[in-house]
Amino acid sequence: MADTYLLVHGAWHTGAEFEAVADAIRAAGCTVHCPTLAGNRPGDDRATTGLADAIDSLVHFIEDNELFDITLVGHSYAGMVISGVADRLTERLRRIVYVNAFVPLDGECLKDLVPPHHAALFDAMAAANGNALMLPFEVWRESFINDADLALARSSYAQLNPQPYRTFTEAISLSRPLAALPLGKSYLNCQQDTAMPHSLPWHPRLSERLGLFRLVECPGSHETLFSAPQRLAQAIIEAGRD
């Protein structure tokens, strides 16, 4: 039976932006799904949708599609989402893979895990935009996709959608630490990712919360899914293998 990967997008994205990576993983003989979380779908209420809604939407996708033995992959904000799903559907998962993603403790929200100046920027943007966030292009260009030329930076930015701020401010509820989950865990670190400052890094600051885990690293920015999708796909396969 082919390995099954579930690729979960980060903030401002939909599942469609993961399709180039998914196609490269499919070419290796795997089954890959790229759902879009509640809060990032057309017509979703950006003012009220929260983290619990996003987690519920992924739980329902897995159950409705009768998926088992899944390698569950979360990018960035989706680390919060896959953590909640792994806590609830542990028996359906083979491994969880965090791609430059947040790894929460019980009772934490995403806003707790970013630098204070990021939190202040988010607060100001949400207050001015009906409790939704949209990244300024300058931040996207320099901090998120710093390994791409200007044309790719602009075309990828055009695919983004407003992010409900409650997905960043709503605390997660976990029944046990992620390190205690009886399944495989991996952390994939793209080395030129500056979406989080290197003084407050993704790895090892957040990755070590997984307890026993596999580390895979590759060159690339936070948005390697746009700038080098085949490279990211290969790294995800390495992170997801037995």
204-226, pLDDT tens digit by residue? 999 999 999 999 999 999 999 99
Given this model, what pLDDT does residue 242 score? 86
What is the C-alpha separation between 110 and 242, in angstroms, rounded? 30
Of the pLDDT bands very low, low, confident and very high (cuts 50, 70, 90), residue 178 is very high
Verdict on whether the full-model pTM lies above 0.95 = yes
For the residues 51-70, what does the mean pLDDT come to?
A: 98
To the nearest 10°, report the CA torsion of 201, 202, 205, 211. -160
CATH of the domain at 206: 3.40.50.1820
* Average pLDDT, rounded, for the chain: 97
Given this model, what pLDDT does residue 1 score? 64
**pLDDT tens, position by position, 29-58:** 999 999 999 999 999 999 999 999 999 999
Residues β-bridged to residue 137: none
pLDDT at 198 over 80: yes
Given this model, what pLDDT does residue 2 score? 85
Given this model, what pLDDT does residue 7 score? 99
How many domains, the chain?
A: 1
Given this model, what pLDDT does residue 45 score? 97
Beta-strand runs (E) in 82-213:
93-99, 132-133, 163-164, 184-190
For the residues 227-236, what does the mean pLDDT come to?
A: 98
Q: Give the Å distances, CA to CA, from 52 to 79, 88, 109, 130, 171.
A: 13, 12, 11, 19, 9
What is the C-alpha separation between 13 and 9, in angstroms, rounded? 6
For the residues 134-150, what does the mean pLDDT come to?
A: 97
Burial track 224-238 (b if 16+ CB lie within 10 A, e otherwise):
bbbbbbebbbbbbbe
Distance of CA 75 to the CA centre of its chain: 2
Half-sphere CA count of 225, side-chain side, radius 13 A: 31
Query: CA triplet 114, 233, 71: central angle to 5 degrees?
Result: 75
- Of the candidates 123, 135, 34, the residue with the CA atom closest to the CA atom of residue 75: 34
Q: What is the residue range of 128's domain? A: 4-240
